[in-house]
Amino acid sequence: MSSITLALLDELRPYLIALIQEAVGPVIREDAGPQYPEKVTVEQASEITRYSKNSLYQMHSRGLIPGAKKVGGKLLFDTATLRKWVEDGGNAA
């Protein structure tokens, strides 16, 4: 590929990734249950809840998400509690 083509691909990459994630994300999330461990990171919690990582951090700081704790400087979520919270509409505990 030419350098112009590569430069264009580099520029478009974030948009292409977002389009692909939007297209396949719901399918992946429906089947995502068993692949998650008992405790999940904010990135995994974002996939489960469909909230952005920033939203999850803000909700945690306000005490709105049950089963979320800081461990060693990392925010971890109890998967079962998180899923129940989502099923209940994502309301405060």
Residue 93 pLDDT greater than 80, yes or no: no
Stated pTM of the model: 0.57
As a whole number of angstroms, the distance between CA 85 and CA 57 comes to 16
* Cα 22 versus chain centre, distance: 13
Residue 17 pLDDT greater than 50, yes or no: yes
As a whole number of angstroms, the distance between CA 93 and CA 91 comes to 6
As a whole number of angstroms, the distance between CA 36 and CA 51 comes to 17
The pLDDT assigned to 16 comes to 80
Domain coordinates in residue numbering, the chain: 1-31, 36-93
In this prediction, residue 22 has a pLDDT band, given cuts at 50, 70 and 90, of confident
By CB atoms closer than 10 A (0-12, 13-18, 19+), residue 19 is exposed
The pLDDT assigned to 31 comes to 47
Residue 19 pLDDT greater than 70, yes or no: yes
Residue type, 49: T
Higher-pLDDT residue of 18, 5: 5
Instruction: Check if CATH label 1.10.10 holds for domain 36-93.
Output: yes
- pLDDT (tens digit per residue) in 25-81: 555 455 444 566 789 999 999 998 889 999 999 999 999 999 888 888 889 999 999
